[in-house]
Structure 1
Amino acid sequence: MKSMVIGGIILIVALIAGTYFIAGDAFNSDDYINSLTMLGAIAIITITVFVALKYVNQIKNDTASGELKEDNWDGIGEYGNPIPTGWGLAFIGAIVWMFWYWGFGYPTNGFSQIGQWNEETIEYNKKFASKWENPSKDTLTAMGESIFLVQCAPCHGVDAEGIEGKAQNLTHRISKDSVKYVIKNGANNFTEKYPGGMPPMMLTDEADIDAVATYVAGGFKGEQPTAYGVCAGCHGADGKGIAYVAPSIIDYSDDLVQTVLSNGKKGHIGKMPSFKGRLNATQEKALATYIRSLGE
């Protein structure tokens, strides 16, 4: 046993030295949390090693004794012995330490870089909203172009004509392939503003699908196909959509762009991720204004 204790002490010293060697620079600062963390590491290492030694020694030397509990099978079962005193005290102590740490050791209302960043962001957004409370169309277009070049151009291209296999062309309303994809597969990822979604295969005849896709992609020009009547029930005869029923399919309305930014979009090319939280309401409106200007 004596040799095991000596070996345990050597192991503890080695582990503590290794911990300090790897993260020692952090403990030279004035932040007491780092020192508290080091003390916790020392305590965990020490307790773990000595508990392990204790039970290794018991396995080597102790024999089971006591009365078996009533629930056993052919004499194989658990003894009704009380839990080890040290284990019980350590368990209770860990619970007490947990509440102390949450309440006093590292209070949630203390300073944090994330909290500071959030406060500064909120303050900046307030100033931004106040400055651009009533922007003109030209201002929105210019702002939207800057946002587009940073957030959207990596997939849609700096000229908004799309990158093949990555994102669609935004210089006109929508491609024929995109319309066909939605007709055949439906769309239900805009449930926040359009709870009903769009079920797939509202049109089943290939000729009707092709005629409607050509008409919608062409900007509602020419004679309206009879089959479009199925779409008009939700999107309206003019394609401008109905609030909380279906979005506009004739232009990039503010509502449609904001909904796509918040929810992402799955189409025939692939899936666009959600941009929720990246842009404020004014920036989303500016982006929609700029995208519409591309078609103009």
Structure 2
Amino acid sequence: MKSMVIGGIILIIALMAGTYFVAGDAFISDDYINALTFLGAAAIITISTFVVLKYVNQMKNDTASGELADENWDGIGEYKNPVPTGWALAFIGTILWMFWYFTIGYPITGFSQIGQWNEETNEYNAKFEQKWVNANESTLNAMGQSLFLVQCAPCHGVDAEGIAGKAQDLTKRMSKDQIIYTIKNGSNHLTQSYPAGMPPMMLTEDADIEAVATYVAGGFKGEQPVAYATCSACHGDNGEGMPFVGPNIKYYDDAIVFAVLKEGKKGLLGQMPSFNERLNETQEKALASYIRSLGDK
């Protein structure tokens, strides 16, 4: 036992020295809270070490005694010994401390930094929306550029060209490869905004798929392919879409931008996460305005 006590004292000294080495600067300051924290750490280390030593020694030297319970499992029975007094007091003390902490020490209904931050953020957002509720296109465009650089540029690049094919090139509505992929694989990820979705292989002939992809990717210029009639049923003759039926595939209107921000996007280049509730309505309009302006390049 003597050697265990000596070992315990050495362990306590080592732990306290390590604590002081890591956070000693904080304890030297005039803040008494830091000093109390250090004293608390010392108490916990000391008590924990000697409690462990006590029970290790008890397990090594004590012999089980008392009245055996009638039940046993595979010949292994339990003694009807009372719960250790120290353990019982510690358990009850922990329960009492919990009630004190949640009612007096740090009440649940009391001040919360997170709650204050949420209140201030909501208040600011309300003022922001009220101030810019009728913002003109020029203002929305400038606002959208700032939002784009923070929220979108990390994936789409500051020039919005998709960082060498790693994300959507937002300077044009869709590339030819993306259109071919969508025709062949369908598009059912915007189920809230366009519930019907688009089943795969609405066009089956390679020549028709090639013609429609070239026409749509080219900005609906030139003669419209006959096969586009299959697409116009949902996207309209001019490709500007129909609410809740098919999105605008000619340019980025508010509806398609809002839908992708809300639900995310999965397609040829990978998956874009949802930005639902990260932007308010005015910010979403501003972002849509800026993305539309990118096509002017």
Per the alignment, residue 51 of structure 1 pairs with 51
Per the alignment, residue 111 of structure 2 pairs with 110
Distance 1:36 1:226 in 2: 82
Runs of 4+ in 1 over 6 A off after TM superposition: none
Per the alignment, residue 67 of structure 1 pairs with 68
Q: Is the Cα contact below 8 Å between 1:69 and 1:80 reproduced in 2?
A: no
The question of 1:260 aligning with 2:260 is answered yes
Provide, for residues 74-114 of structure 1, a one-character-per-residue CA deviation record: whole Å limited to 9, x for no partner: x23444433323222222322332333333333453353x5
Percent identity, aligned pairs only, is 68
Alignment CA distance shift 1:52-1:173 (3 Å): same
Provide, for residues 192-212 of structure 1, a one-character-per-residue CA deviation record: whole Å limited to 9, x for no partner: 433444444444443333233
**How do 1:154-193 and structure 2 match up within 5 A?**
154-193=154-193
Moved more, 177-186 or 54-63: 177-186
Amino acid at match of 1:167: A
Distance 2:168 2:256 in 1: 16
Q: What is the TM-score normalised by the length of structure 2?
A: 0.80
Distance 1:293 1:172 in 2: 10
Amino acid at match of 2:125: N
Provide, for residues 244-267 of structure 1, a one-character-per-residue CA deviation record: whole Å limited to 9, x for no partner: 343222221112112223333233
Q: Is the Cα contact below 8 Å between 1:178 and 1:268 reproduced in 2?
A: yes
Could you tell me how far 1:173 is from its partner in structure 2?
Answer: 1.8
Alignment CA distance shift 1:58-1:158 (3 Å): closer
Unaligned runs of 5+ in 2: none
Alignment CA distance shift 1:190-1:51 (3 Å): farther
Moved more, 23-32 or 217-226: 23-32
Unaligned runs of 5+ in 1: none
Amino acid at match of 2:68: E
Amino acid at match of 1:161: E
**How do 1:1-296 and structure 2 match up within 5 A?**
1-26=1-26, 28=29, 32=33, 38=38, 41-65=41-65, 66-73=67-74, 75-108=75-108, 109-112=110-113, 114-296=114-296
Alignment CA distance shift 1:53-1:273 (3 Å): same
Q: What is the TM-score normalised by the length of structure 1?
A: 0.80
